[in-house]
């Protein structure tokens, strides 16, 4: 039996990876605020970790969108030949420092749980205390576009590789869990599977989706706007559209649920 959202004392939020589609998470946060629903703990992977950090930091939804619009994805002087990746992820540190000047999990207003992938040991790693920015960079460092991030001598990359929907890290004190998944695995036409790159992308997407679908279903409230399918994972022109899709979808769902309680 699903628990009551309106009467919940502590709300946990799980935010999946999914690149630009993750702007839908920001739309959800806007809808939550409009319904006076306050989240106490956030767990996220990849772009979900970034959105979760900005939300936990007290940034407005406008400031969150500005962060993603203003942070360059492919800046010519960020390209590297000395690291395994097209872009040097460490070059983004100064940009993140502008938003998180204290660079500490403890400085955030909400509990935050960030997942990254330990490339050497082949396992996921949870970060929830101490230095903040490097774990965020690591969690969103999608190979082979972004280089891995060295933290205490270990190379870390995108959290979505091992755990794209880290629901299990929310604390036991949370009595209502909202899950937001933007890694959509809908139907693909044959023309979308014509070459090796398309095939690899499809297989990876299906594997990521399969690993998190049961956890999404076990949330008290699960959000998965299928309209995001047409937005490319690294297509910055889709930022505003993904945000609007997330907001409209979450608003409809929240209004329906709260009207029944």
At 75-134, the pLDDT tens digits run: 555 777 777 777 888 889 999 999 999 999 999 999 999 999 999 999 999 999 999 999
CATH T-level topology, domain 11-259: Cytosolic phospholipase A2 catalytic domain (3.40.1090)
| pTM for the structure as a whole | 0.91
Q: Which residues are catalytic?
A: 46, 158
CA-to-CA separations, 56 to 59, 146, 158, 221, in angstroms, rounded:
8, 25, 20, 20
- CB within 8 Å of 224: residues ≥ 6 apart: 180, 181, 182, 184, 216
Predicted local confidence at residue 155, as pLDDT: 97
């Amino acid at each position: 039996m699903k628990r009551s959202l309106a009467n919940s004392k502590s709300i946990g939020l799980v935010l999946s990876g999914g690149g630009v589609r993750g702007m839908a998470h920001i739309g959800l946060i806007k809808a939550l605020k409009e319904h006076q629903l306050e989240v106490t703990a956030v767990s996220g992977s990849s772009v979900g970790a970034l959105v979760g950090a900005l939300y936990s930091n007290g940034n407005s939804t406008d400031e969150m969108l500005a962060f993603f619009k203003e942070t360059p994805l492919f800046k010519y002087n960020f390209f590297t030949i000395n690291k395994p990746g097209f872009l040097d992820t460490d070059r983004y540190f100064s940009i993140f420092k502008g938003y998180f000047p204290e660079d500490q999990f403890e400085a955030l207003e909400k509990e935050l749980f960030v997942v990254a992938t330990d490339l050497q040991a082949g396992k996921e790693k949870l970060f929830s205390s101490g230095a903040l920015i490097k774990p965020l960079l690591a969690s969103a460092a999608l190979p082979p576009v972004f280089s891995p991030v060295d933290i205490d001598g270990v190379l870390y990359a995108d959290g979505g590789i091992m755990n794209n929907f880290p629901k299990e890290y929310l604390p036991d004190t949370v009595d209502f869990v909202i899950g937001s998944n933007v890694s959509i695995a809908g139907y693909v036409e044959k023309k979308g599977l014509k070459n090796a790159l398309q095939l690899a992308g499809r297989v990876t997407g299906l594997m990521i989706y399969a690993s998190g679908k049961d956890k999404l279903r076990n949330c008290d409230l699960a959000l998965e706007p299928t309209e995001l399918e047409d937005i490319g994972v690294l297509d910055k022109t889709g930022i505003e559209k993904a945000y609007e899709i997330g907001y409209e979808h979450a608003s409809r769902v929240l209004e329906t649920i709260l009207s029944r309680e």
